[in-house]
């Protein structure tokens, strides 16, 4: 018997780029699709191919400059080294500010928190993330907690790949 699709009719954007953390991109993508959401991988250009830190490939379906926040209900910022590159793109920061303005789900795991930091949207937000960016989060005005997942309004954050089950539960909590 088919299971319920709690995210049917919802759409998610997932940022992708060189040296993304493989599990932090693919686990949310597959779980969101399993829950019925449409998922779009977006990198610098549509059709770009990237290898994750552990070599798993992905191909971007859209270019970041070509997507609009109004087409999505949420965004996932995976970790790895990719966020340090994408956080410099004005289009990434604009999209994240628009997601925040509209109260849409913004989910960041591990080093993915670098992107909301650079967008300037974490001030006063309870978060977690990789211990390696704890100082960055605190200096951006976020309220740090060491936990597997933190949900604060429309923000979801986690620390590392081991937290992915809790991370996805947090996203589902925000979305349903």
H/E run at residue 14: strand 11-15
DSSP state for residue 63 in the 8-state scheme: E
Q: Which domains does the chain have, with CATH numbers?
A: 11-175 (3.40.50.880)
Q: Contact, 20 vs 50, CB < 8 A?
A: yes
> Has 145 been annotated as catalytic?
no
Residue 24 has, within 13 A of its CA and on its CB side, a CA count of 34
Record the tokens describing residue 173, joined without a space.
């909590």
| Tens-binned pLDDT, residue by residue, of the chain (176 aa) | 566 899 999 999 999 999 999 999 999 999 999 999 999 999 999 999 999 999 999 999 999 999 999 999 999 999 999 999 999 999 999 999 999 999 999 999 999 999 999 999 999 999 999 999 999 999 999 999 999 999 999 999 999 999 999 999 999 999 99
Active-site residue (options: 54, 111, 145, 154)? 111
Tokens 């597959």, located at residue:
30
């Amino acid at each position: 018997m088919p299971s319920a699709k709690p995210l049917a009719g919802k759409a998610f954007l997932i940022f992708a780029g060189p040296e993304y953390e493989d599990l932090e991109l693919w686990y949310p993508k597959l779980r969101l699709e399993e829950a019925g959401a449409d998922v779009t991988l977006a990198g610098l250009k549509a059709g770009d191919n990237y290898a994750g830190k552990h070599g798993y490939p992905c191909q971007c379906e859209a270019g970041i400059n070509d997507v609009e926040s109004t087409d999505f209900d949420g965004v996932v910022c995976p970790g790895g080294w990719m966020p340090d590159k994408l956080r410099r793109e004005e289009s990434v920061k604009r999209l994240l500010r628009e997601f925040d303005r509209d109260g849409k789900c913004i989910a960041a795991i591990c080093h993915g928190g670098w992107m909301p930091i650079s967008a300037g949207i974490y001030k006063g937000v309870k978060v977690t993330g990789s211990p390696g960016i704890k100082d960055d989060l605190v200096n951006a005005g976020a309220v740090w907690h060491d936990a597997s997942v933190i949900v604060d309004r429309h923000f979801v954050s986690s620390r590392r790949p081991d937290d992915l089950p809790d991370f996805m539960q947090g996203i589902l909590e925000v979305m349903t």
